[in-house]
């Protein structure tokens, strides 16, 4: 699925099942909430916190999908073409950061 198809799919779901979009401020609050839920799971999987009993099966992929869904809602509401926005953002990063990270001694020579 392309980003454009994802925006269209979310819009179709909202109009058929979700009744209407929540307002932009509500969606911004929901986005923040979803990011917090992902942070909680990541802190338990990769950090030093432990899961509460019964919550060990929380799925970061599901939380990431929740984040993407709300972000797509916001983009639709604000008439933002995320494909174009991402392309422009990558162009900005490529020109601004062409050597910045490669020359950062804090990053060392580790390869990912």
Q: Is residue 90 part of a domain?
A: no
**Number of folded domains that form the chain:** 1
**pLDDT 10s digits, 50-99:** 888 887 778 999 999 999 999 999 999 999 999 999 999 999 999 988 78
Stated as kind and residue range, the H or E segment containing 32 is: helix 24-45
Q: Is residue 109 part of a domain?
A: no
Q: Is residue 9 part of a domain?
A: yes
**pLDDT 10s digits, 24-43:** 999 999 999 999 999 999 99
Stated as kind and residue range, the H or E segment containing 84 is: helix 82-96
Domain harbouring 18, CATH code: 1.10.287.1080
Residue 109, pLDDT above cutoff 70: no
Higher pLDDT, 33 or 100: 33
**Residue numbers of the domain that contains 48:** 3-81
Q: Is residue 98 part of a domain?
A: no
Q: Is residue 107 part of a domain?
A: no
């Amino acid at each position: 699925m392309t980003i454009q198809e994802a925006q269209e799919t979310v819009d179709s779901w909202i109009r058929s099942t979700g009744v209407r979009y929540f307002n932009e401020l509500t969606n911004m609050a929901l986005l923040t909430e979803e990011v917090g839920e992902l942070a909680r799971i990541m802190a338990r999987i990769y950090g030093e916190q432990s899961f509460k009993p019964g919550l060990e099966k929380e799925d970061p992929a599901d939380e990431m999908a929740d984040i993407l869904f709300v972000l797509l809602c916001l983009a639709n509401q604000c008439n933002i073409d995320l494909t174009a926005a991402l392309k422009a953002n990558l162009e900005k990063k490529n020109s601004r950061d062409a050597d910045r990270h490669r020359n950062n001694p804090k990053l060392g020579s580790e390869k990912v």
